[in-house]
Amino acid sequence: MAQPLTTPIPAGITPDASASTTSDACASKTLDHRSLDSEAIREARRDLAACFRMAAALGMGEGICNHFSVMVPGWNDRFLVNPYGLAFEEITASSLLICDFAGRVLSGEGAPEATAFHIHARLHLNKPGARAAFHTHMPNATALTMTAGEPLLWAGQTALKFYGRSVVDDHYNGLALDSAEGDRIAAAMGDADVVFLRHHGVIVTAPTIAEAWDDLYFLERAAEVQLKAMSSGREVLAVDPAVAATTAAQMRLEDPESARLHLASVRRRLERVAPDYAD
């Protein structure tokens, strides 16, 4: 199902003739590699690696097919992303790649998975506020992409975190193997933070890694409890829309700090059970 990026230059971007998808090929290019190894970037690597590891522990990944990315701190045209071929549980801070929007790997070994590049590069390019973008086929949320109607029924408090913040992309087009499909997904997402990709999975975008992780985690929990309620055979009762909107606004006020503390707790847990995530 997954495949590496082999044709890195998306439509509309003129490549350097010597560009390559490998970092070795970039070694001779005039590039300030020190700027890609600041403490802020190292911390972003550790945060993102922690998200991969916890997602694996919670069963939110799928083989080697899903991907998380974040814009490199201090840059607006390059991003960190997982390399093709590694499962979430294998990701370490140092294994993450830094790519530019032309598909060149500027730091790291290997290449991104093809759909990872075409989705994430175009999301970051088209949605500048989406500094972090997480895409998974996590089972409960993905199950809701296969059902008729709106995925979330706004029946549980956890789901209200996403009230007014999510959209559905109803136009499943197969694998995202070109920049046009990435652009289409970004357009379908619009100003939303969460998109349910019909028959496919979900994408969460956020200003920070912590907020993307927090949303991804609670989205799967909201989907899980909704599916349990639906399986009871009893009517699922939606929250009054006015109350839902008020509750969503209350949650948003606390989200950045709550998300920061949530990710910090993830890292403390990993320090106890899998400290190599930070390597």
Domains of the chain, CATH where assigned: 32-278 (3.40.225.10)
The tens digit of pLDDT for each residue in 158-172 reads 999 999 999 999 999
124/181 Cα distance (integer angstroms)? 14
Backbone angles phi and psi of 176, in degrees to 5: -85, 85
Backbone angles phi and psi of 159, in degrees to 5: -60, -30
The tens digit of pLDDT for each residue in 61-113 reads 999 999 999 999 999 999 999 999 999 999 999 999 999 999 999 999 999 99
* pLDDT tens-digit profile, the chain (279 residues): 677 777 554 433 433 333 333 333 333 333 545 479 899 999 999 999 999 999 999 999 999 999 999 999 999 999 999 999 999 999 999 999 999 999 999 999 999 999 999 999 999 999 999 999 999 999 999 999 999 999 999 999 999 999 999 999 999 999 999 999 999 999 999 999 999 999 999 999 999 999 999 999 999 999 999 999 999 999 999 999 999 999 999 999 988 999 999 999 999 999 999 999 999
First to last CA, the chain: 28
Residues of 184-196 as b/e, b for ≥16 C-beta within 10 angstroms? bbbebbeebbbbb
Torsion (CA) 90, 261, 43, 113 in degrees, nearest 10: 40
The pLDDT value recorded for residue 1 is 65
Closest to 163 in 3D by CA, of 136, 192, 125? 192
The pLDDT value recorded for residue 2 is 72
| Pairing status of strand 78-81 against strand 132-136 | unpaired
What stretches of the chain show up as alpha helix (H) in DSSP?
Answer: 23-26, 39-57, 114-126, 139-145, 179-189, 209-231, 241-273
- Around Cβ 90, how many Cβ atoms within 10 Å? 16
Task: With both helix axes pointing from N to C terminus, report the angle between 114-126 and 179-189 in degrees, rounded to the nearest 10.
Answer: 50
CB 89 within 8 A of CB 54: no
